[in-house]
Each structure stands twice: as structure tokens, then as C-alpha cells.
């Protein structure tokens, strides 16, 4: 946790550095770097895709990673709070899996330092996928012949384990990239790719300082933590209860971390309503107004909001065509 807070502190005291780098208008890379101990291979990606879409990784056999982080949609579920096993809901909104490879840390509170670490969490969260523990997950996977084979192909014989399962899922997630949005095309030189209104919106987000935090190619501050909300507003507080959830402090139990959040990506944001960590805001328009008021202390005009919304729609990328995985069967028996 100390490392996390250190990172947060460094990034909070250095907003000007981030602002500079943001003005570069970076194009989204088409590939994501993999950590040294988990180089991406086709076999891992294929296995990870199966695991990611397999509801048998949940206690009830009804919830897969994709149930809440839906790869057929904008990488999440368009719900305020996701629904886990037995109809349970938590207090946070599912972040998109698309381009999550470009987040330096994962989860709203950034408590996971990698995709690998993130993938281990929801499976054994009692209100998400509800498995008792990873031993139970591994035991179940071992009963499925096809998984033993797929792990063997990806990692070598007898390699079904928590470590390899999460490595495979992370390897698959690193392929979930949506390049070539109208914004990327524009920045790459096609000046017709964005409308005039979108270009006005683009200049506005830089001018207002949105990109101080939402910086970099993924507009996610590359691991920056920020306070939200910065400014008090009685109306929005009454409506949306943003401060009920204390963000990073829920993990660190440190008062100084209250209200600190990982900067979420703006990529594909037009597809991922509702908004904010608690999913309390239904429209992108309202989300923009709120960010203006609570982060910048500005009442954005109707036109400014419309321009910014138009620009954000220009951040919707191209989704790669994927083959549906054929999940290895539970032969002649059930898993639960």
C-alpha cells in the first residue's frame, strides 16, 4: 500500500508535468506492452479468452469476467453497479476492459498494480464471482479436460494454477485495444475525421485543463491518482453521493487518501454510461457538467458541454472482430 500512496502523492504534486505531456495529443498504440514475466503469446491469449468468457469461474456458473466487462459492448455492462452471483450488487460501476492494458494501475481505487493482479480479484469476491478461494477455482478447472490441455499448450504440462490463469486473462486483455478512433485519425493527419464541433470540443478540453489529469494516449493519466470531487457542491452531493465511497482510502485506511481515485480513461466513454465510480450519473452530458463544476469549479455553458460531448464521441475506437471462444466442456457431469 505504501507504494500506491507514494505513486499517488508524486502524481498529485506534479500536475503541470502531466499537462505538458497531454498537449501532445497522442495516438492510441495498436499493441500494449507486456510485463517481462508474462510475455504475450497466442496460446495464452486463446486460453485467456476462454477463461474470460467462462461463467464456470463463478460459484453459481452464471457470471464470467465478460458479464460485467462485456467484450461485445463497450467493455462493461451499462449498469450503475454490476450484478454478481445470486443477484448481488456492489457500490461501484464496472470500468471498461477495453484499453485497460494502458492503465498503469487497475480498479477504480488503483489497488491492483497490473492486469494480472486485477484478474485475481473478482473471482473470489463474494458479491462478484463468489468462488470460495483460488484453490476451489483451480480444482474446478482441473476437472475440465480441455482446460488442462489449454494450460499445457500455453504454459507447459500440469500448469493449471491461479498464477497462470490470471496471466492468461491478462494476456487476452492486452489484446483488447480499440485504435483508430476519429480522434486518432484526426491526430494522425486526417483533418476531416473530426467535425468542427468536435475540434472545438478538443481544444476546449485542453484549454479547460481536463487533459491535465486525463492525459496521454488513453486519456487516463498513465496511473495518476486524483482527488474527486475537489470542489464542494451541495446540489451534486445531494444528487449523486460521490463522497460516500472514499476511494483509495477504503484500501489504505489512510485519511489522506480519502477521495483519491485512479484517473479513468476517456476512450469509448460515449459507450460506457452510466458514469463515475458509483455509476450514479446517467448521461455523458451531465457527467461533463459535473466534472466542470466539481473539478474545475466552472459552470460550463450548454455549448461548451455539447462541444466536449461531441469530442468525447470522437474517442470511440474501432473494435477488433473476435472469434467466439468454444469453452471446453464439463464432460458428462456438472461443476457445481
Binding interface with a second copy (CB under 8 A)? 53-56, 60-62, 67, 70-74, 77-80, 83, 85-88, 270-271, 273-274, 282-285, 309, 313, 316, 319, 321-327, 329-336
Please report how close the Cβ of residue 81 comes to a second copy at its closest, in angstroms.
11
Please report how close the Cβ of residue 111 comes to a second copy at its closest, in angstroms.
25
Cβ proximity of 102 and 115 under 8 Å: no
| 22, 127, 315, 318 from 214: Cα distances, Å | 8, 30, 13, 20
Give the residue with the Cβ less far from a second copy, 110 or 179: 179
Please report how close the Cβ of residue 214 comes to a second copy at its closest, in angstroms.
17
Give the residue with the Cβ less far from a second copy, 169 or 260: 169
CA–CA separation, 320 and 209 (whole Å): 32
| 189, 190, 302, 313 from 193: Cα distances, Å | 9, 6, 24, 12
Give the residue with the Cβ less far from a second copy, 104 or 288: 288
Q: Residue 286: enclosing H or E segment and its boundaries?
A: helix 284-296
User: Is 163 noted as a catalytic residue in this protein?
Assistant: no
Region of 120 on the Ramachandran plot (φ > 0 left; ψ -120 to 50 alpha; else beta): alpha
Packing angle of the helix pair 115-123, 162-173 (nearest 10 deg): 120
CA–CA separation, 118 and 275 (whole Å): 21
Catalytic residue among 128, 173, 304, 309: 128
Query: What is the DSSP-derived secondary structure letter of residue 205?
Result: H
Give the residue with the Cβ less far from a second copy, 192 or 326: 326
Cell digits for 123?
Answer: 473471482
Cell digits for 37?
Answer: 514475466
Give the residue with the Cβ less far from a second copy, 38 or 67: 67
Cβ proximity of 49 and 66 under 8 Å: no
Please report how close the Cβ of residue 17 comes to a second copy at its closest, in angstroms.
31
Please report how close the Cβ of residue 235 comes to a second copy at its closest, in angstroms.
21
Active site residues: 128
Amino acid at each position: 500500500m505504501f507504494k500506491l500512496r507514494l505513486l499517488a502523492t508524486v502524481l498529485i504534486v506534479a500536475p503541470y508535468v502531466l499537462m505538458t505531456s497531454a498537449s501532445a495529443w497522442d495516438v492510441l498504440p495498436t499493441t500494449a506492452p507486456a510485463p517481462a514475466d508474462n510475455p504475450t503469446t497466442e496460446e495464452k491469449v486463446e486460453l485467456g479468452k476462454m477463461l474470460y468468457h467462462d461463467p464456470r469461474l463463478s460459484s453459481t456458473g452464471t457470471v464470467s469476467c465478460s458479464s460485467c466487462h462485456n467484450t461485445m459492448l463497450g467493455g462493461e455492462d451499462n449498469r450503475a453497479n454490476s450484478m454478481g452471483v445470486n443477484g448481488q450488487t456492489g457500490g461501484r460501476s464496472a470500468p471498461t476492459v477495453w484499453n485497460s492494458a494502458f492503465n498503469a494501475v487497475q480498479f477504480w481505487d488503483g489497488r491492483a498494480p497490473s492486469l494480472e493482479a486485477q484478474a485475481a480479484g473478482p473471482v473470489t469476491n463474494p458479491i462478484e464471482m463468489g468462488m470460495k478461494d483460488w484453490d476451489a477455482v483451480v480444482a474446478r478447472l482441473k476437472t475440465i479436460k480441455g482446460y488442462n490441455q489449454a494450460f499445457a499448450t500455453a504454459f507447459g504440462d500440469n500448469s493449471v494454477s491461479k498464477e497462470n490463469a490470471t496471466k492468461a486473462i491478462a494476456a487476452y486483455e492486452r489484446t483488447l485495444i480499440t485504435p483508430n478512433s476519429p480522434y486518432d485519425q484526426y491526430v494522425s493527419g486526417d483533418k476531416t475525421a473530426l467535425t468542427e464541433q468536435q475540434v472545438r470540443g478538443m481544444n476546449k478540453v485542453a484549454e479547460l485543463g481536463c487533459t491535465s489529469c486525463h492525459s496521454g494516449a488513453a486519456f487516463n493519466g498513465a496511473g495518476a491518482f486524483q482527488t474527486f470531487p475537489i470542489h464542494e457542491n451541495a446540489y451534486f452531493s445531494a444528487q449523486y453521493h460521490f463522497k460516500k465511497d472514499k476511494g483509495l482510502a477504503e484500501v489504505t485506511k489512510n485519511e489522506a487518501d480519502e477521495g483519491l481515485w485512479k484517473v479513468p480513461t476517456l476512450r469509448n466513454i460515449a459507450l460506457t454510461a452510466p458514469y463515475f465510480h458509483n455509476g450514479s450519473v446517467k448521461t455523458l452530458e451531465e457527467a461533463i457538467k459535473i466534472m466542470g463544476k466539481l473539478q474545475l469549479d466552472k459552470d460550463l455553458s450548454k455549448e461548451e458541454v455539447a462541444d466536449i460531448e461531441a469530442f468525447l464521441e470522437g474517442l470511440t475506437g474501432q473494435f477488433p472482430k473476435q472469434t467466439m471462444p468454444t469453452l471446453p466442456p464439463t464432460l458428462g457431469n456438472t461443476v457445481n
